[in-house]
């Protein structure tokens, strides 16, 4: 009995320690990948590092708070959280409130910092769907599809297809975990595939991105430039890497080097072996989240932990899959590693909930 309690305690401790270790590694890699561009753009090599360090500090406090806050009470916060997310997703589309970067309106400018409403949407969708499916009710599928379509529509207006796919996947996964009227999924999947290919076909930019995925040599100085620079980074790293601070791609050859493409810089400097260590840490975190979902003692805890596990796994697989060109690049950050305060804060909050479930 004592051994069982010690194993459980160690498992919960790993859920607390792993995000901190990964985030510290992320701080290190963010500085490595962004120091050159930060100095050129802001005359401060530590510009991005300082902001990420601030969010890291707040994130630990948020994780500790949610690790002690009874997760059952989240049931009552789920609807207000979803409502707030919808309002923010609408506000970000309004010029003067939403900040436009490279043709995408995804950030709300708060002056000193920028906030990304889609990250809060992931958090609120998990809370709301897990609360909604806590009790089984019939004839709910139409409302489910209506809410899914509305949220995906708002996110696609930004446009942000990567996050729209994440939200869609979360809806399907939680619906599947709820375990009833699953035959409706047979309708959703064909319709979703048709919609997905239509969205690619009607958008010249998305169509070119898809063609660049199929053939990196398509428009090498245009739409395929990003993919090719990632492949150059990874191939230059070889087995052991160029060495600490020896990346050449960080000299603004690789776009978004400190955000979505940070793994390419890691691969270049630390090689296959260094990248493998990071992947093992990420997948151990995913495994621990999966264990909490399996061992949860109540339905709400199972749904919450299962949804959190799914979100972490989805983002890791989609980000790494895009980097190694197994799937198209989608702009999804690598959890705890990529630069981005909104994403880091949300993942720390979710880890706090996971710890809370694990302790019980």
Distance CA 32, CA 21 (A): 17
Positive or negative, the CA dihedral 192, 197, 202, 207 is: positive
pLDDT digits (tens, 9 = 90+) for 147-182: 999 999 999 988 888 899 999 999 999 998 988 777
pLDDT of residue 94: 87
Q: What is the 3-state secondary structure (H, E, C) of 89-111?
A: HHHCCCECCEEEECCEEEEEECC
Residue 62 near residue 348, CB atoms below 8 Å? yes
Residue 246 vs residue 83, higher pLDDT: 83
pLDDT digits (tens, 9 = 90+) for 165-224: 999 999 999 998 988 777 777 888 788 888 888 887 777 777 777 777 777 777 666 777
pLDDT of residue 107: 82
Burial 111-134 (b: 16+ CB within 10 A, else e): eeebbbbbbbbbbbbbbbbbbbbe
**Residue written as tokens 């260590």?**
277
Q: What's 115's DSSP letter? A: E
pLDDT of residue 138: 67
Q: Which of 1, 12, 27 is nearest to 359 (CA)?
A: 12
Residue 126 near residue 350, CB atoms below 8 Å? yes
pLDDT digits (tens, 9 = 90+) for 54-76: 999 999 999 999 999 999 999 99
Q: What is the pTM of this model?
A: 0.92
Give the residue-averaged pLDDT of 270-297: 94
pLDDT of residue 3: 41
Report the number of distinct structural domains present in the chain. 1
Burial 25-46 (b: 16+ CB within 10 A, else e): bbbebbbbbbbebbeeeeeeee
Look over the chain and give the mean of its residue pLDDT values, rounded to a whole number.
Answer: 87
pLDDT of residue 2: 44
Residue 12 vs residue 292, higher pLDDT: 292
- Domain hosting 42: range is 2-359
Q: Could you tell me the strand order of the sheet in which 98-101 lies?
A: 98-101, 104-109, 114-115
Give the residue-averaged pLDDT of 15-37: 92
Residue 104 has pLDDT above 80, yes or no: no
pLDDT digits (tens, 9 = 90+) for 306-355: 999 999 999 999 999 989 888 888 888 999 999 988 999 999 999 999 99
Maximum Cα–Cα distance across the chain: 63
């Amino acid at each position: 009995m004592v051994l069982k309690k010690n194993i459980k305690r160690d498992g919960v401790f790993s859920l607390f320690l792993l995000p901190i270790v990964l985030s510290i590694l992320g701080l290190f890699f963010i500085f490595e990948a962004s120091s050159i561009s930060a100095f050129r753009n802001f005359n401060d090599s530590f510009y991005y590092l300082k902001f990420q360090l601030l969010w890291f500090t707040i994130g630990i406090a948020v994780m500790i708070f949610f690790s002690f806050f009874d997760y059952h009470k989240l049931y009552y916060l789920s609807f207000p959280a979803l409502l707030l997310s919808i309002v923010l997703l609408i506000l970000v589309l309004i010029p003067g409130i939403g900040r436009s970067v490279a043709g995408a309106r995804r950030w709300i400018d708060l002056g000193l910092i920028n906030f990304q409403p889609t990250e809060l949407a992931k958090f609120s969708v998990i809370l709301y769907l897990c609360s909604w499916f806590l009790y089984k009710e019939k004839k709910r599928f139409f409302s489910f599809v209506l809410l899914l379509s509305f949220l995906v529509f708002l996110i696609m207006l930004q446009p942000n297809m990567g996050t729209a796919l994440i939200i869609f996947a979360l809806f399907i996964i939680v619906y599947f975990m709820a375990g009833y009227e699953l035959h409706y999924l047979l309708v959703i999947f064909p319709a979703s595939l048709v919609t997905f290919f239509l969205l690619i076909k009607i958008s010249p930019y998305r169509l070119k991105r898809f063609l660049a995925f199929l053939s990196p040599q398509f428009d090498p100085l245009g739409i395929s430039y990003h993919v090719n620079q990632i492949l150059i980074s990874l191939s230059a790293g070889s087995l052991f890497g160029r060495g600490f601070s020896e990346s050449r791609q960080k000299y603004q050859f690789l776009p978004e080097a400190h955000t979505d493409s940070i793994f390419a810089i890691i691969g270049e400097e630390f090689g296959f072996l260094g990248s493998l260590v990071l992947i093992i840490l990420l997948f151990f975190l995913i495994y621990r989240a999966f264990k909490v979902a399996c061992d949860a003692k109540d339905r709400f805890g199972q749904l919450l932990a299962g949804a959190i596990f799914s979100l972490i796994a989805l983002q890791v697989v989609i980000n790494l899959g895009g980097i190694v060109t197994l799937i198209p690049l989608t702009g999804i950050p690598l959890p705890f590693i990529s630069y981005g305060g909104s994403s880091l804060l949300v993942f720390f909050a979710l880890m706090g909930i996971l710890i809370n479930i694990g302790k019980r």
